[in-house]
Amino acid sequence: MNPARSTLKDLFASSFARYLSVHPTGLRFPHGRLCSSVEATVHHCRPARTRYRNKTPVCRSLDGITSIKEKHDCASCPDRKDCTAQIYLELTIEDVPYRLLLAYTSARNFMQFASRIGKQGIDLENTRILISVRDRGRWGELCFIAKPAEQGALRI
């Protein structure tokens, strides 16, 4: 493995968890800033699960297999049916690491985007992308654009 990539993964693993949240008008940063679009670098993506109670996360798995806090397997959890399937992204924005959990339409948009750039032979990891938010009234839908140097923009 590339030593620089390994170091970056270690940074994500040990850094303070900075989650971006999606709102109809943009992405909200942990310190309160709201942006309708951001340029980011994707470092890793994988399945995740979150169980909510009254819109508050009560259990989360960043690999879709084991809970972070309760340390039990998701497959044997009796509350698994109440979990929201998600995609977990590790990103850097302006050289600061963030986590973003995608669900529903945003997850579908990301999977379509990842599939299309993969078909073009572009590696998703370390790809510069533009993430923008479409206002859907009560929720925000994320859209993804990559601008590889040797090819035109790809939008989903």
Q: Which two tokens stand for residue 149?
A: 């140097």
* pLDDT (0 to 100) of residue 153: 52
* pLDDT (0 to 100) of residue 1: 47
* pLDDT (0 to 100) of residue 5: 54
Query: What pairs with residue 130 in β-bridges?
Result: 39, 145
Regions of the chain short of the pLDDT cut 70: 1-17, 147-156
Distance CA 90, CA 59 (A): 19
Total domain count, the chain? 1
Residue ranges making up the domain that contains 7: 3-155
In the 8-state DSSP scheme, what is residue 82? Answer: G
Distance CA 125, CA 16 (A): 21
